[in-house]
Amino acid sequence: MAAKKRFCSTGTCRHAYCKGEREGSRRGFIQGIGYAVAEIVRSHDQPTIAVDVAGASGFDYQDFKGAGVDEFDLKQLRPLRRERGWPGTKR
């Protein structure tokens, strides 16, 4: 296994490698939140808390979908779009 390349952590440089690392990291972060929010609904039936967590993250349903959150979890997130507090719920 090759040694992991270091990337600039400034969050502003334009190196292709660094940009890839930042985007991958952001995707992973959103996926993790998506999983956790879905789990709150799936295992605990707490949509109010789930929306609170999702809303606090600042990400909306499209962000979770776009980041590649698994359909197994998206299925739990879709009904939350109707709950108060979810960003962009006015649809």
Contact positions vs Zn ion (CB under 5 A): 8, 13, 15, 18
In whole angstroms, the minimum distance from the beta carbon of 15 to Zn ion comes to 3
In angstroms, give the least distance from the CB of 88 to Zn ion: 32
Asked if residues 47 and 83 have their Cβ atoms less than 8 Å apart, the reply is yes
Q: Comparing C-alpha atoms, which of 52, 23, 22, 25 is closest to residue 37?
A: 52
- Of residues 12 and 43, the one with the C-beta less far from Zn ion: 12
Distance CA 82, CA 78 (A): 8
- Nearest residue (CB) to Zn ion, 18 versus 37: 18
